[in-house]
Amino acid sequence: MFDQAPMFDTSVPVGVFGADCAASGAPKFRLLPVAGEPGMLTSTGGVQLRAPHALDALRRAGVVIAPSWRSRQPGPPEPLLRALRQAHGEGALIAGLGSGVFVLAAAGLLDGRKVAASCRHAPGLMTAYPGVTVDPEALFIDDGDVVTSAGPVAGVDACLHIVQRMWGADAAAAIACGITPAVRPDGGRAPVAGGALDEAVAYALGHLDDTLDVGALAMRAHLSRRTFDRRFRAAVGASPLQWLGRQRILRAQRLLEDTDLTVEVIARQVGFTTAVSLRRLFRRVSGVSPQDYRSSLRDKAALPLEPAGRSLTGDPHPPGAAGPAAPRPGPGW
DNA sequence: CGACTCATCCGCCATC
DNA sequence: CAGATGGCGGATGAGT
């Protein structure tokens, strides 16, 4: 969230990922509203916003969304751009909705890509960033690791698309029915890379605690190993194993946050056979050891700002797809 | 941390 | 002919 950015735009991802649709079977997300710059953020009509999280929260996110940007100088602050690039490099899905595409462009994440942008923003975007091509027809574009939308209303579609892609059509439909007027039975949106791939992803998320190998996921998607690799990278922006590793770390982070389980136990619960593997990957992804991560969060939890909320890092349990045996850790999940 | 094994994944290429 | 597919093999890196 940014100072002087439109309230409507800023609220879009909060509306989608913060919607409480658990009763209709939607997954719960841990939504981490992040202040993109320090200080109080003033929005449309003088409304003042205060985001409970700082930039370091980007390291814990599976999806990072820039919902808006202001029209005036100065540009996005460099620490934010660094954090965005780092999250992207570590496999997070990055989305720029409406004016938020300027934030992604400033971070260099749109170079050489075709993106969606509203007619108001398209000329300025292409002038300031010659490497970026705007598709004037697109409401939103999923480019695998980067999603863009033309304006905040299409931003709702883009967010629902992300939900569908990562958590399945049922999840998207459950959320959509609360915020859009009419939805087709499929959730109103076509899958990114084909239902087969989505199914394999949903299966993997529901069985993170098992030892999954890429060959088995390919079989589940009814694709050859080679084609699965290719399609996966095109759709998700990372190799299957890289993606799997990041999902495992995200879940481990939650277990570290919400439980007192030992690192050894957590490692097994998220699909590592030993804690050594978890520790090594954990440090590479988040920069700290699991223990340090846990204690730093415990320190922060003492502050009044920490919400009891949920995480946009994504609860990986598409209803139905994960099966009855899907793990449901702790109360803070 | 180092040594070891083996899965992964990407370029290449024939084929569909 | 263009584009997608899938097998092969080796460098790489993940896991133990």
Residue nearest to nucleotide C7 (CA to C1'): A226
Predicted confidence band of residue A103 (pLDDT cuts 50, 70, 90): very high
Q: Which has more pLDDT, A313 or A273?
A: A273
- Check pLDDT > 60 for residue A129: yes
Predicted confidence band of residue A100 (pLDDT cuts 50, 70, 90): very high
Of A residues 211-240, those with CB within 7 angstroms of nucleic strand C are 211, 223-227, 230-231
A24 CB below 7 A from strand B atoms: no
Tokens of A231: 């399609």
- Cα distances from A299 to residues A172, A211, A257, A292, in angstroms, run 35, 33, 11, 11
- Check pLDDT > 70 for residue A165: yes
Task: Report the distance from CA of residue A293 to the C1' of nucleotide C13 in Å, as an integer.
Answer: 25
List the single range of A57-71, A270-284, A288-302 with lowest mean pLDDT: A288-302
Task: Report the distance from CA of residue A223 to the C1' of nucleotide C7 in Å, as an integer.
Answer: 14
Nucleotide nearest to A267 (CA to C1'): C15
Angle separating helix axes A7-17 and A169-179, nearest 10 degrees = 130
Q: List all nucleotides in chain B with at least one atom under 7 A from a protein Cβ.
A: 1-2, 7-12
Q: Model pTM? A: 0.58
- Check pLDDT > 50 for residue A333: no
Residue nearest to nucleotide C4 (CA to C1'): A227
Amino acid A314: pLDDT: 38
Q: pLDDT above 70 covers what percent of chain A? A: 80
3-state SS assignment for residue A230:
helix
Other CB atoms within 10 A of residue A133 CB: 15
A114 CB below 7 A from strand C atoms: no
Residue nearest to nucleotide B8 (CA to C1'): A241
Nucleotide nearest to A241 (CA to C1'): B8
Of A residues 189-228, those with CB within 7 angstroms of nucleic strand B are 213-215, 226
Give the C-alpha separation, A282 to A215, whole Å: 24
**φ, ψ of residue A306 in degrees (nearest 5):** -65, 120
Amino acid A330: pLDDT: 26
- Please write the tens of the pLDDT for every residue from A210-255: 778 888 888 888 888 888 888 888 877 778 888 888 888 878 887 8
A234 CB below 7 A from strand B atoms: no
- Check pLDDT > 70 for residue A269: yes
List the single range of A39-43, A135-139, A186-190, A211-215 with lowest mean pLDDT: A186-190
- Check pLDDT > 60 for residue A303: no
Predicted confidence band of residue A326 (pLDDT cuts 50, 70, 90): very low
Amino acid A299: pLDDT: 59
Mean confidence (pLDDT) of chain A = 76
Q: pLDDT above 90 covers what percent of chain A? A: 10
Amino acid A106: pLDDT: 93
- For Cα atoms A116, A19, A64, give the angle at the middle one, nearest 5 degrees: 45
- Please write the tens of the pLDDT for every residue from A191-209: 444 466 777 887 887 787 7
Q: Which helix (H) or strand (E) holds A200?
A: helix A195-206
Amino acid A26: pLDDT: 72
Amino acid A324: pLDDT: 30
Residue nearest to nucleotide C8 (CA to C1'): A226
